[in-house]
Amino acid sequence: MKMTISKKLFLGFFSVLSILAITVTVGYYQIASVDSSYSNLINVQAKKVILIKELNIEIKEQQSRLRGYLVVNDETALNAFSESHTDFLELSQELQGIVTDPKAVTLLEEVNQLSGEYQQYAATIIELKRNNQTEEYTNLVATQGRDISNRFDEKALEFSDFQDAELNQVSKETSDRVASVKLFVLILGVIGLIAGVVIALYIGRIISKPVIKLAEGAKEIAAGNLMIDDIKVKNSDEIGDLAQSFNDMKTNLKSVIQQVNSTSELVAASAEELTASSEQTTKATEQVANTMQEVSSGVEKQVQSVEETSQTVSEMSIGVNEVANQTMDVSNAAMAASEKALDGGRVIKTAVNQMHSINQSVSGLEAIVKELGDRSSHIGNIVEVIGGIAAQTNLLALNASIEAARAGDHGRGFAVVADEVRKLAEQSADSAQQISQLISAIQEETHKALTSMEDTSKEVEEGIGVINSAGQSFDEIQLSVDGVTQQIQGISSAVQQMAAGSEQIAQSMEVITGVAESSASGTQEVAAANEEQLASMEEIASSANALSAMAEELQELISKFKVN
Output the pLDDT for position 323. Answer: 55
Mean pLDDT of 159-175: 80
Output the pLDDT for position 478. Answer: 67
Indicate whether 346 pLDDT > 60: yes
Indicate whether 37 pLDDT > 80: no
Beta bridge partners of 225: 562
Mean pLDDT of 185-203: 86
Q: Smallest Cα–Cα separation from 88: which of 54, 48, 118? A: 54
Contacts of 98 (CB under 8 A, 6+ apart): 44, 47, 48, 51
Output the pLDDT for position 305. Answer: 63
Output the pLDDT for position 19. Answer: 81
**For 563, phi and psi rounded to 5 degrees?**
-120, -10
Q: Residue 82 and residue 412: Cα distance in Å, rounded?
A: 180
Beta bridge partners of 562: 225
Mean pLDDT of 236-245: 76
Output the pLDDT for position 133. Answer: 83
Q: Residue 63 and residue 148: Cα distance in Å, rounded?
A: 11
Q: Residue 278 and residue 544: Cα distance in Å, rounded?
A: 9
Mean pLDDT of 45-49: 76
In this predicted model, which residue has the larger pLDDT, 184 or 512? 184
Q: Do residues 128 and 140 touch, judged by C-beta distance below 8 A?
A: yes
In this predicted model, which residue has the larger pLDDT, 353 or 8? 353
In this predicted model, which residue has the larger pLDDT, 292 or 217? 217
In this predicted model, which residue has the larger pLDDT, 32 or 266? 266
Q: Which of 292-296, 322-326, 381-385, 409-413 has the highest mean pLDDT?
A: 381-385
Indicate whether 201 pLDDT > 70: yes
Output the pLDDT for position 492. Answer: 65
Output the pLDDT for position 34. Answer: 62
Q: Residue 247 and residue 217: Cα distance in Å, rounded?
A: 9
Output the pLDDT for position 102. Answer: 87
| Residue 230 three-state SS | coil
Indicate whether 96 pLDDT > 80: yes
Output the pLDDT for position 490. Answer: 75
Q: Which of 247-251, 270-274, 330-334, 437-441 has the highest mean pLDDT?
A: 247-251
pTM of the model: 0.36
CA 441 to each of CA 26, 380, 382, 435, 446: distance values in angstroms, whole numbers, following the listed order: 129, 11, 16, 10, 8
Length of the chain: 564
Dump the DSSP string for 183-195: HHHHHHHHHHHHH
| Residue 225 three-state SS | strand
Give the H/E segment covering residue 243.
helix 238-407
Rg for the chain, CA atoms, rounded: 74
Domains of the chain: 5-215 (1.20.120.1730), 299-534 (1.10.287.950)
Dump the DSSP string for 34-92: HHHHHHHIIIIIHHHHHHHHHHHHHHHHHHHHHHHHHHH--HHHHHHHHHHHHHHHHHH
Q: Smallest Cα–Cα separation from 213: which of 187, 195, 234? A: 234
In this predicted model, which residue has the larger pLDDT, 421 or 179? 179
Indicate whether 324 pLDDT > 80: no
- 327 — pLDDT class (breaks 50, 70, 90): low
